[in-house]
Amino acid sequence: MSDARVAPAQENARRSRRRKVRWDLLFLAAAAAALVALSLTVEGKGDRAWRASLENLREMAFILPAVLVIMGLFMVWVDRSLVVKYLGKGSGMRGMLICIALGTLPTGPLYVGFPMAAALLKKGARVSNVLAFLCSWAALSIPAELMELRFLGWDFMLARLAFTVTLIVPLSLVGERLCARPGETGDGGPTGADGAE
């Protein structure tokens, strides 16, 4: 490949990355402005809002860096071939069960799982397995189940748990089909950022 072909591609990538950053900065600015404006104009509600935000901020300050450090170590130490073997194309039902089990580990809200899921994809995990991992992360957290048991009763909690778990497998398999684009092999892809390899 000649340099002439590579340079514009990089330029494009850089430009689109910049545009995405601006989007979430915009989102942040809007949310923060709304929070300030509403707590100044609506009497007596602002305290509750700020308390909820600060509580979550504190929680995230303790959880997010730890999750990202684990993600970084995973990227550096875990061999791509290992991920492909256990969670890749030929991993079958066992790979999916491993992913569902990984998702149940208590680790906080769903969005903390996104960078971890991206790391799994980069290392060669199947799309369906990553979908199962995220669904299980969202739906099967043990602290949440305990809350549900307490407030909605055991029959509600057990029935919802059973139906959700049963649906995760077909959802992930269908999702993989829908994600596959023509001409793509679906085995992760050379997204870079693998660090030392």
Q: How far apart are the first and last CA of the chain?
A: 22
Question: 5 vs 151, which CB is nearer to other proteins?
Answer: 151
Question: 3 vs 155, which CB is nearer to other proteins?
Answer: 155
Question: 75 vs 98, which CB is nearer to other proteins?
Answer: 75
Question: 80 vs 175, which CB is nearer to other proteins?
Answer: 175
**Smallest distance, Å, CB 152 to other proteins?**
6
Give dist(CA 92, CA 69) in Å, integer: 29
Q: Which residues contact 173 (CB under 8 A, 6 or more apart)?
A: 128
26, with CB counted inside 10 A (0-12, 13-18, 19+), is exposed
The encoded tokens of residue 171 equal: 């959802």
**Smallest distance, Å, CB 69 to other proteins?**
5
- What angle separates helix 127-139 from helix 92-104, to the nearest 10 degrees? 30
Residue 174 burial (CB count, 10 A): 12
**Smallest distance, Å, CB 2 to other proteins?**
28
Give dist(CA 54, CA 46) in Å, integer: 12
**Smallest distance, Å, CB 44 to other proteins?**
10
Question: 2 vs 185, which CB is nearer to other proteins?
Answer: 185
**Smallest distance, Å, CB 120 to other proteins?**
10
